Structure 1
């Protein structure tokens, strides 16, 4: 609760800043409470835009995408038991092609996993300025050691086992963005093909260039989803989210996710994020 109060106070102070015409940097700080992690997760990211993000009539949240601005981003997520470090980027090759990628290192305390690396790369093609389609590739490698027990001569005997596993998945995605004078839709969908398929859908509506509401849906049908955090069994997760820009520099986002139509019930995640562009 203290972390969330601190974030809100910083948000109100930053919102008093006056806007600027263009920006090349963006910092985000957030707090999330997830039902499968004991401690709150702190999320920090920094994005460097390689050209200016202009302040015009476009929605501020997706202005870098609409203006086809190349960028490099570093992210850190940390809690009492899980730390994740990520470096990624997005590059618009020309008006028709875009390539993006991310590399991650996961550090788990008190876990059988000692080494966990993952990454992804995707290539998108703009059929027209509003509609993008593309394909992606995901890879991860996990190593570690666990202890098993065997019954020998009527006694349980501990024995250590090495863990080593690599996994790769393919993906198809699409995104359609239709906004005029700060109003309109930003829609996207993705299918990740693995031993069991994952489906994602996302919809955001911009009422003005400053304010948007959105819904997203994720279906997981595998024992664990190690690309992000761990879910057990099948899971259907629906989220309600909002974003508001107090100035052309500063915004806040709120998102709440809930399990629906599956064995798991209740709130899956609550996320509060402050964003500063300069």
Structure 2
């Protein structure tokens, strides 16, 4: 099994006629993702890599039965795209777009929840259930099907960790990049619960970073609700206070959000913390007795 996406996922690509949308639509389709359509206002009737284009999400859902959407539109239009997806009946929305204003993300997230849908992102690489479906911009060649669930705030560190897991013989059930903005959709606690409930996930790798208190909350959640082995890496150990590092959400302010505080929270919860991403497979194997 996997979480969120699988072979039954029916995907539409919002912004499919743009440079990024068309490029990644082709990559997702070639991986085996069931890309059933795309949207681009005023371009209904066209095709991109054999994928039909519709004017609106509602039109696409009506014609294809799509249940998932991935968004490749410029930041000024991302809020409208996310809300249109939820309004059109999409139940899982993945927003790849970076640079989305925080207030736009807040408004979109609230509307999506009101519609009973789920959001991943914005500013994320998407997610993949190896050999089943990939939605986003993941480098599929490093992933292998297996039992380790991956949750990460960082795209590139996701790839480092997954490469090391695969090399160590630990395949992945699903890997999710939650995004590095201050406000995003599904986050650590949501996904930890999903992996805990997934019978085919036997362990969890988490990648956190400085800024906010999501990791501290995740540590408490793991201690109270997660029974499966977990290993964590926290980036940004050398980041100075007040300095934004990479992501809009990766900033230490008012003496909080430091890597040291996050690491201490995980250690207090009994969760092993890697000094380097390459250590995660061994930390998991020790708990799995492999």
Same fold (TM over 0.5): no
Would you tell me which structure has more helix in proportion to its own residues?
Answer: 2
Q: For CA contacts below 8 A with separation 6 or more, give which structure has more relative contact order.
A: 1
Q: TM-score, normalised by structure 1?
A: 0.29
Looking at secondary structure, tell me which structure has more strand per residue: 1
Please give the TM-score of this superposition, normalised by the length of structure 2: 0.28
Bigger-Rg structure (1/2): 1
